[in-house]
Structure formats: C-alpha cells, structure tokens
Amino acid sequence: MQTSASYQTPDIQDHKVPELSPTSSCSQNTNRSCEECLKNVSCLWCNTNKACLEYPVRKILPPSSLCELSSARWGVCWVNFEALIIVMSVLGGSILLSVVVCCCCCCRKKKGRKPDKSDERAMREQEERRVRQEERRAEMKSRHDEIRKKYGLFKEQNPYAKF
C-alpha cells in the first residue's frame, strides 16, 4: 500500500558541523591563562613563554624543544610534568615493592605451615632408620644374653644372693 505523500528525509550532507582544529583552538589561548588553555584537553600550557600549544600525542612526554618538563602543564595548572614523573615513579616503585614483599611473605608463610614432599620423605626415612636400629639393638641384646647364659655370665637380678 503506497501513500500519496512521500516522506523525505533531510540530507545529512546539507548540515555541516564547523570543525575546530586543535592547533587553532590551542594557539588562540596563547598569552591568556593556563586555566583557559587547559579547558581543551588536547592543549599543553608552557609557563616559560605563556604559550598554549597542541599536546604532542604521538610522544608520551612533550619534547624539550617544545617546552621544558618543569614548566609544561597538562590537565591541571598546578602540576608540572617533572613532578608528575617523579611522583608516578615513586608510586609505581612502591606498589611493585609492596607486591614483591607480599608474595615473599605469603610464600614463606605457606612453606612454614605445610611441610613439602622432600621434608615428609626425610622424616619418614628417619623414622624407618630409628625402627630398624631398635630392632637391631633388641636382636643384639638377645644374642648377648644367650652367650652370657651359655657361659654362665648371665647377670642375675641380685648378684649378692650367691654369697
């Protein structure tokens, strides 16, 4: 079933969104304030020359030719990159050290709680040797007693009873 009135959708190409390049919007904030520059997250504020620059996203840190780390600001105006690197390094090292210490403590605690297979085997072998030694000792004692009895050297309960 067709209707006589056809509905036409507006052409998307007719509506153009104005494009702002990050370079142009960042450079507009040069010689203004750090806060105004950093409202745009793609901008970097350089304190030495009061310049608002495009953040070099292809590099992790801005190169020193662009701005020194001690005077570069990104995100917030009160943190410079030098301090940020130091703080992040200390925090990362502390976290890594904490994880290593926790792992060592857990392994040591686990080892102390439960004897491992080699310890169990050594204890079992020691017990077997002790039992065999006692058997040999009892066997030797009975042999010695037989020899003493044969030659009349058997120790009596009360040796002074003969006299």
For residue range 18-58, list pLDDT tens digits in order. Answer: 444 444 588 888 888 889 898 888 898 898 888 999 988 88
The reply to whether 161 falls in a domain is no
The reply to whether 135 falls in a domain is yes
Q: Which of 38, 54, 77 is the last residue of a domain?
A: 77
What is residue 162's predicted lDDT score, i.e. its pLDDT? 58
Are 48 and 68 in contact by the 8 Å Cβ rule? The answer is: yes
Are 56 and 43 in contact by the 8 Å Cβ rule? The answer is: no
For residue range 76-86, list pLDDT tens digits in order. Answer: 888 888 888 89
Q: Let me know whether 106 and 58 are in one domain.
A: no
Residue 93 has pLDDT above 90, yes or no: yes
Tell me the sheet residues that pair with 73.
Answer: 45, 80
Q: How many domains does the chain have?
A: 2
Q: Let me know whether 97 and 68 are in one domain.
A: no
Which amino acid is residue 58, in one-letter code?
A: R
Q: Let me know whether 101 and 143 are in one domain.
A: yes
Domain boundaries, position 31: 19-77
Can you tell me the distance from the alpha carbon of 38 to that of 58, in angstroms, rounded to the nearest whole number?
19
Can you tell me the distance from the alpha carbon of 32 to that of 28, in angstroms, rounded to the nearest whole number?
9
The reply to whether 23 falls in a domain is yes
The reply to whether 3 falls in a domain is no
Which amino acid is residue 122, in one-letter code?
A: A
- Give the lowest-confidence range in 27-31, 92-96, 133-137: 27-31
What is residue 23's predicted lDDT score, i.e. its pLDDT? 47
What is residue 82's predicted lDDT score, i.e. its pLDDT? 86
Segment of 78-82, 111-115, 154-158 carrying the highest mean pLDDT = 78-82
DSSP state of 74: E
Q: What is the pTM of this model?
A: 0.46
The reply to whether 99 falls in a domain is yes
Are 58 and 27 in contact by the 8 Å Cβ rule? The answer is: no
- Give the lowest-confidence range in 13-17, 29-33, 108-112: 13-17
The reply to whether 134 falls in a domain is yes
Q: Which of 77, 96, 117 is the last residue of a domain?
A: 77
Are 67 and 97 in contact by the 8 Å Cβ rule? The answer is: no
Interval 48-70 mean pLDDT? 86
Q: Let me know whether 102 and 136 are in one domain.
A: yes
Can you tell me the distance from the alpha carbon of 62 to that of 42, in angstroms, rounded to the nearest whole number?
12
What would the two tokens of residue 6 be?
């056809």
